Structure 1
Amino acid sequence: MPPDYPEVDACPPSIGILSLDTRFPRIPGDAGNPESYHLPARVRVVPGAGSPDIVKDGRPAPALVEGFRSAAEELVSQGACLITSTCGFLITVQREIAAALPVPVLLSGLCLLPTVRQMVGGRPVGVLTASAPALGDAAIRAAGAAPEDVRIGGLQDCPLFAETFLAPKDRQHGAFDPAQMQAEVCRAAEALVARSPEIAAIVLECGNLPPYAAALRRVTGRPVFSILDAARLVPGP
């Protein structure tokens, strides 16, 4: 059965954010910070959905997928007209959750890959991800892209990034220096471009990376796109 679509008047413009279960701060620009969006937003944490449970090659456990779907339904019932998430690895369940809901769903910046590749005339696109080894071909295909058209750079070996965002919740940093984090992220992006100079744009998989998008544009000389850019497809009032 198709989902029941809400009445337009019953759905004021707002965004629902599905969040991993983490303890690090969501600084301005992070996809898990409601102030990062152009519309009012609210967050629902999915209990037990830690970084190691989601940042992996493959789908989350069925119980976690159900947890994300249930949280999304709750957000829609509260008026959300768009569902986003804090982790781009949820691309593996993007279609499934979108099919279950009556509003647009955008779980990953990777959803932008086909559009960005069209924007750059079919040239290769770079992906900056939390973990390159974990971002398998299935995730790229789930985004509607071909693995051979994508060049991937990861942050899994960057100490501050990995200790803050990729560790189990009880070992994550409760605070971090954004300037130090930006330096690590920019070095990873520069390495990606040096290794694959043919890339014409960069898509950010990770919801923790949008705070550094402007710096990434400066150091790489490429346009940079994130889930926040995609969310703006839903217009404001």
Structure 2
Amino acid sequence: MKNARLGILMLDTRFPRILGDVGNPASFDFPVRYHVVPGATPEAIVLSDPRPWTEAFIAAGRALVDQGCTGLATTCGFLTLARDEVQAACGVPVASSALEEVPRIAAVLPPGQVPGIITISQASLSPAHLAAARVAAGTPVIGVDRGSFARSILSDAETLDVPAARREMIEAARQLCADHPEVGAIVLECTNMPPHADAVADATGRPVHSILTYLNRFHAELT
């Protein structure tokens, strides 16, 4: 798309990209341009250290900038580890993860409330990821590691049980709020979770933020 200002660095995947997934162009009200990074699978980026892939993402980002993109995003929240390097090398703003919204959300919540995070893999979400996104230590986190959603995405399956995934998101969100009543807003780390954001908000009564809400604001600020 010639007029796309937002370029999206995409993992190399085959799982379904349903409406609301950042990898589905129909999820946006504005044009986007994608660039797949060959070999950058969910297993390589989420279950392993993504930093060896930084140069590949920089090369893809430069290609998108050369095509006219004035901002970059990614299709995996764990790439926040590479955000600063990609941004510096490509010379345009980069929004790599919904985790990067946590400090802004924390700043506007009422006193005594904090954001809570739902991640695809609590086992893999390290202090380094949270530090890279400037997330405060002690921010509540819960994962959906054992569910069908995580298995489908992380194994890059060709099918996805959408109703089961939605149930798992709701269950995790309710557990997060039960364990941490101070949670006043929920952030969905995974870029494949936004299709379930409204269901999570309805189930918990908390506002839900995702890579889509982040990118809507991010895109509006691009020149």
* Cα separation, 2, equivalents of 1:25 and 1:14: 25
Residue matched to 1:194? 178
Within 5 Å, which residues of 2 pair with 1:1-150?
12-56=3-47, 59-62=49-52, 64-121=53-110, 123-148=113-138, 150=139
Give every structure 1 segment of 4 or more consecutive aligned residues whose post-TM-superposition deviation is greater than 6 Å: none
From 143, 152, 168, the counterpart of 1:184: 168
* Cα separation, 2, equivalents of 1:142 and 1:228: 20
1:41-71 deviations in Å (ceiling 9; x for gaps): 12211111111211147x4142x11111111
Residue matched to 1:8? none
- SS at 1:17's partner residue? strand
Question: What TM-score does the superposition give when structure 2 sets the normalisation length?
Answer: 0.92
Contact in 1 for aligned 2:51/2:82 (Cα 8 Å): no
Pair 1:174 & 2:162 matched: no
1:90-136 deviations in Å (ceiling 9; x for gaps): 01111111112232210101110110001114632101101011111
Shift of 1:184: 1.6
- SS at 2:183's partner residue? coil
- Structure 2, gaps ≥5 residues long: none
- SS at 1:189's partner residue? helix
- Structure 1, gaps ≥5 residues long: 1-10
Contact in 2 for aligned 1:17/1:83 (Cα 8 Å): yes
* Cα separation, 1, equivalents of 2:50 and 2:4: 29
- SS at 2:39's partner residue? coil
Determine what percentage of the aligned residue pairs are the same residue: 40
* Cα separation, 2, equivalents of 1:15 and 1:118: 26
Shift of 1:176: 2.2
* Cα separation, 2, equivalents of 1:69 and 1:128: 27
* Cα separation, 1, equivalents of 2:145 and 2:73: 23
* Cα separation, 1, equivalents of 2:149 and 2:83: 25
* Cα separation, 2, equivalents of 1:17 and 1:173: 22
* Cα separation, 1, equivalents of 2:50 and 2:182: 33
- Alignment RMSD, CA only? 1.8
State the aligned residue count.
Answer: 219
Question: What TM-score does the superposition give when structure 1 sets the normalisation length?
Answer: 0.86
Contact in 1 for aligned 2:149/2:164 (Cα 8 Å): no
Shift of 1:85: 0.8
* Cα separation, 2, equivalents of 1:31 and 1:215: 17
Residue matched to 2:194? 210
Contact in 1 for aligned 2:118/2:187 (Cα 8 Å): yes
* Cα separation, 2, equivalents of 1:221 and 1:99: 39
